[in-house]
A and B are shown apart, each in its own frame.
Chain A
């Protein structure tokens, strides 16, 4: 895992040290380790001369900037209406059974976190899920299990 301080340094080189650099920096850290811990936020606050509470307050506003530990692969199943109608409940159930975790939880081996998400923008091809940045539309329970099993192998 790359050094968070290094990520911050690299990002400030591109985006500067003003507050407007905050989102790209937070995103860069999350991209690397899938969540932000207190030390990460303290380092970011230091780099941008913000209070740690402000960094926390900003990060916690955004659903994808998790401030609690997450697995290597964060699964987000869309729960909004079209995907609901298309059967997201069955997908979630299948994943829960496969990974033996409930929504909001992370597997013991810290590989997977299962979450729901608001509309992912694939209403014509629901149900849909994201695994980290990758998108998987037109899911069936079987497809979901296959996809996650493939990730498991990685």
Chain B
């Protein structure tokens, strides 16, 4: 669509911007930053914090820059006396109902309200403290997320995130006036409602009202306990984002430095979730082929297709609540994190001559839902809690800083062995479409004996930030044992953000869409945009992290999961074959229908 240019002045400087541009963005063009709190570029405009008010010459009142489109001849002042007074007053008002216990706050140093208070040098509190007059309620029952209303500034970013990006609306605005607050259904704890623990709200909360539950101290304790062998695993998306916690621009690939840092932190063994990501492909690929065979050859009408992926614990919780009738369609494979935990306390323990009870498995995840997943009662295949503690990328950054490690000067090092080897196919698990691409690389080759027919193995149609991506791969020239697939066009869908997953599942439910295989990641952009990733995360940053992930893949010598030598080894030495009895015992799980309301 052709857009007209609109002419206006901002702080007396003329600027022309396309029609529909907000004052906020027009100012950005002129390098004037207007402060915001409720605004987030992933979300719809709210215009409720009012921190971004600007003066429009001739206007009766100030204007919210985030919510107001430019108009011809507008004269805007972003820093007039009236604006400054109003802005400072608004910050003071927010502080008066905000628990400003900053030095003890988890978000100390990464709080947007704190930064604004600092920027405007809000001194003596002018207004009466309203926090003390209210009962402080902290919901810390969830293993993933802590909600502390005393810190909430009611910007509603979390509410918009939960509804617009995730289609969950576990959080909503309740009451009005001075009682207005962000609430779950009847203010129940997050563990008792439809919350998927995705942590997208945590990633967007400008203050410390929604934060991850941290296990950093527990992990330090384990490291410092000489009787415990602490194994750490790192998810694919952490290596392209950890830099943002440590002074790098978004999109730096820092796998080697990260491994060195983890060793310096004192972990006994630094291993890779990518190893079990490769393993997942073999297990899940086999499961898919088995389902297809049962459907096509055995004409078994009970087989559940399309099959969906199961790596994303936010997605699992979502489908358990929202489409429980589709639980048989979800791959029974555990997520790579949980496969790793189960194997660390069995296979790894055996090989290293350790007892399972003496091993502590720590995961570094871009995710808050992984904390919940590790706590699920099903996740004890080793006889113990398979994964002891889950830390987010942010928490790892915290540990590195606490240990005084000068990250930028670190040498690269390699993951330890065993369970440290991986391929490019595992790395791309961190991006939306990655599991699909990795699965297709392996499944196609297993079935035809030839590489998947995409240039350089890059299955471009499933890459990128489109909410729902579709791809069709025609299978031709099958090996004899797979001849039943000859000529079949495998139809795939990839969805990220639960709101898109919901659309896809609804289409399947209504019979509007027919797929064989669906990949779902709960978070926008996949794990690289996970709730546990550095703050801020936005579209630009997600794209940079994705680019880094695909660079990492392209640079690796092995790019197909079935070529991972350690994966071959574990099947020979321990598991037997994909979907074997032992695999099922350790690497597969089941799901629980949950209440939708």
Task: Tell me, yes or no, whether A binds B.
Answer: yes
Q: Decide: B172 and A51 in contact? CB cutoff 8 A.
A: yes
A67 to B176, CA, bound (A): 13
Does B462 belong to the interface (CB within 8 Å)?
no
Does A10 belong to the interface (CB within 8 Å)?
no
Q: Decide: B597 and A45 in contact? CB cutoff 8 A.
A: yes
Contact with A along B302-315 (1 / 0, CB 8 A): 00000000000000
Of the stretches B83-91, B124-132, B180-188, B429-437, the one at the interface is: B180-188
The 8 tightest CB contacts between A and B, nearest first, are A57-B172, A51-B169, A53-B172, A42-B597, A52-B185, A53-B185, A52-B597, A60-B174
A38 to B176, CA, bound (A): 19
Which B-chain residue is minimally distant from A45 (CB atoms)? B597
Which A-chain residue is minimally distant from B193 (CB atoms)? A53
Which A-chain residue is minimally distant from B180 (CB atoms)? A61
Q: Decide: B168 and A57 in contact? CB cutoff 8 A.
A: no
Contact with B along A10-35 (1 / 0, CB 8 A): 00000000000000000000000000
Q: Decide: A51 and B175 in contact? CB cutoff 8 A.
A: no
Residues of chain A lying within 8 A (CB to CB) of residue B174: 56-57, 60-61
Contact with B along A38-74 (1 / 0, CB 8 A): 1001100110001111101110110000010000000
B contact residues vs A (CB 8 Å cutoff): 163, 168-176, 183-186, 193-194, 596-597
Q: Decide: B171 and A53 in contact? CB cutoff 8 A.
A: yes
A56 to B183, CA, bound (A): 9
User: What is the interface of chain A mostly: helix, strand, loop, or mixed?
Assistant: helix
Residues of chain B lying within 8 A (CB to CB) of residue A51: 163, 168-170, 172, 185, 194, 597
Residues of chain B lying within 8 A (CB to CB) of residue A56: 172, 174, 183, 185-186
Q: Decide: A53 and B176 in contact? CB cutoff 8 A.
A: no
* Nearest chain B CB to A91 CB, angstrom units: 24
Q: Decide: A38 and B175 in contact? CB cutoff 8 A.
A: no
Q: Decide: B597 and A60 in contact? CB cutoff 8 A.
A: no
Which B-chain residue is minimally distant from A67 (CB atoms)? B186
Residues of chain B lying within 8 A (CB to CB) of residue A60: 174-176, 183
A80 to B172, CA, bound (A): 30
A56 to B185, CA, bound (A): 6
Contact with B along A104-131 (1 / 0, CB 8 A): 0000000000000000000000000000
Q: Decide: B172 and A54 in contact? CB cutoff 8 A.
A: yes
Residues of chain A lying within 8 A (CB to CB) of residue B597: 42, 45-46, 51-52
Residues of chain A lying within 8 A (CB to CB) of residue B193: 52-53
Residues of chain B lying within 8 A (CB to CB) of residue A53: 169-172, 183-185, 193-194
Q: Decide: A41 and B175 in contact? CB cutoff 8 A.
A: no
Number of interface residues of A (CB under 8 A): 16
Residues of chain A lying within 8 A (CB to CB) of residue B183: 53, 56-57, 60
Residues of chain B lying within 8 A (CB to CB) of residue A52: 185, 193-194, 597
Residues of chain A lying within 8 A (CB to CB) of residue B171: 53
17 sampled A-B residue pairs with Cβ under 8 A? A41-B185, A45-B597, A51-B168, A51-B169, A51-B172, A51-B185, A51-B194, A52-B194, A52-B597, A53-B169, A53-B170, A54-B163, A54-B169, A56-B183, A57-B172, A61-B174, A61-B175
Residues of chain B lying within 8 A (CB to CB) of residue A61: 173-176
Residues of chain A lying within 8 A (CB to CB) of residue B173: 57, 61
A68 to B596, CA, bound (A): 22
A60 to B370, CA, bound (A): 33
A61 to B186, CA, bound (A): 13
Residues of chain B lying within 8 A (CB to CB) of residue A41: 185
**Most chain A beta-carbon contacts within 10 A, residue among B173, B193, B597:** B597
* Nearest chain A CB to B196 CB, angstrom units: 12
A54 to B174, CA, bound (A): 8
A50 to B322, CA, bound (A): 12
A46 to B321, CA, bound (A): 13
A58 to B168, CA, bound (A): 16
* Nearest chain B CB to A39 CB, angstrom units: 9
A121 to B193, CA, bound (A): 40
A45 to B185, CA, bound (A): 11
* Nearest chain B CB to A69 CB, angstrom units: 13
Which B-chain residue is minimally distant from A57 (CB atoms)? B172
**Most chain B beta-carbon contacts within 10 A, residue among A41, A50, A56:** A56
A77 to B152, CA, bound (A): 33
Residues of chain A lying within 8 A (CB to CB) of residue B176: 60-61
Further contacts, 15 of them, CB under 8 A, given A54-B169, A56-B185: A38-B186, A42-B597, A51-B163, A51-B168, A51-B169, A51-B185, A52-B185, A52-B597, A53-B184, A53-B185, A57-B173, A57-B183, A60-B174, A61-B173, A67-B186
